[in-house]
Homo-oligomer: A and B are copies of this chain.
Amino acid sequence: MTNPRSSAIQYAHENSTRFLNELKEFASIPSISTDETTKAAVLQAAQWVANHLRSLGMGNIQIFPTAGHPVVYGDWLGAGNKAPIALIYGHYDVQPVDPLNLWLSEPFTPDVRGDYIYARGITDMKGQIMVALDSIEAILKTGQLPINFKFLFEGEEEIGSPNLVTFLGAHKDLLRCDIAINPDTGTLSPDIPCITYALRGLAYMELRIFGPDHDLHSGIFGGAVLNPAQELCELIAGMHDAQGRVTLPGFYDQVRSIDPEEKEELARLPIGDQYYLNATGVPALYGEAGYTTIERLGTRPTLEVNGLLSGFTGEGSKTVLPAWAMAKISTRLVPDQQPSDVYQQMQSYLEAHAPKEIRWSLITMHGGPASISDRNSIYIKALSRALETVWHKPPVFKREGGSVPIVLDFQRILGVETVNTGFSMPDDNMHSPNEKLHLPTWYRGIDTFIHFYFNLAQ
């Protein structure tokens, strides 16, 4: 009797051309969710995924309508009660294609050039969905699936998943599972396997400063009252010290520090300052003193001004002394900071520093805590061993600076952890022209998922 893993991998290799053709077919559907005019194409992509699940023998397939684009569900529970249930998450919608003139091939006519295939959505994330499904096909066609599966594919990720939380809340039982798998976070380079084990949280606020009860003439009143735009700037300036540290009282109290081992692992990441200089175009990088850029992005909280507005902002000049000034301010959080604590810290900061000559209000907006996975959990270890088997080297562990709302929603609503993975790369032009997918890594991804599923059963 042959090794079931080897059989599955052999099947995958033998069917690689057909797998690629199916990916091309999927990527030919212009399922741009941001555009009303492509609504039919988004539905067509949902139907394509549903049909593909059906062709694999998955059951209970449903296309749930939502207030926006539909959610595709399916499952396969034949591995029995003892085996875990993995919930595969994905999104079948894609970004818009503008500016179209910068594309070297038609965005919805997938084009293989060298090691890459080019198309809108090919890496974000139709290619990643097919990694998860092709590996299931390979196992099924050569033996038995070792674990149970549920599938949740949405069509609104690129517009912020406005209807997903409602859907999760309404279908908690249907979606009950042991682990969620999100292949939408990607890797770093073809050479180095990677697991994203931490995501930062968010606390978003709007600060409004009120001065005079109407816009004043800056000549007639300049010198009599405190300018709210100036005061806003002073308050914002005071939110960082000279070392780039956030000064909100208690801001760092709950920040979990990283141990030397994790620090060492982060230093191994094949992404350094030059990468960030290239990606941003800034003359020099900047951040909290005492930490590398990678450490700052993944393991340290930050406070950013997301927007400023006051007074006259058009062309030319107007000598107004504005009645009010506004800033959008958000903090990225790391374990174990809580958004509610940060809101309170900002409130305390303002109470301590806002002068009596102005009035202010702080509006708290959406937020969520950071999420971090135990790098020693059975699920992370299952993926780690799978990556090491295929790449012949252990994966690096990466913290992601952004938040992935779906991970927090799964935790909050379904009570389940998520393994974040995927085989897209930072330079895949995800939201830009000439989006591409590295085919050798994609095929390795299918092999990896075959091992991953088997490892999850152990």
Contacts and interface: CB of A to CB of B under 8 A. Distances in A.
A166 interface: no
Contacts of A287: 223-225
Interface stretch (A310-318, A337-345, A434-442, A448-456): A310-318
Contacts of A297: 220-224
Contacts of A401: 219-224
A366 interface: yes
Given A221-B276, A319-B202, A328 B313 contact: yes
A204 interface: yes
A134 B211 CA distance: 43
Q: How many copies does the complex hold?
A: 2
Interface of A: 200, 202, 204, 206, 211-214, 216-227, 229-230, 232-234, 236-240, 276, 279-288, 293, 296-297, 300, 302, 304-313, 316-322, 325-328, 330, 332, 355-359, 365-366, 400-403
B237 A304 contact: no
B321 A311 contact: no
Given A281-B213, A286-B357, A311-B308, A317 B365 contact: yes
Q: Is the interface of A mostly helix, strand, loop or mixed?
A: mixed
Given A225-B282, A237-B238, 18 more contacts: A213-B281, A218-B304, A219-B401, A220-B402, A222-B297, A223-B296, A225-B276, A229-B308, A230-B240, A283-B358, A286-B357, A304-B319, A305-B311, A306-B320, A306-B322, A307-B312, A307-B318, A313-B328
A307 B282 contact: no
Given A237-B234, A304-B230, A306-B319, A402 B217 contact: yes
6 pairs of A and B residues whose beta carbons are closest in the complex: A219-B402, A213-B281, A237-B237, A229-B305, A226-B286, A223-B296
Given A225-B286, A286-B225, A305-B311, A332 B402 contact: no
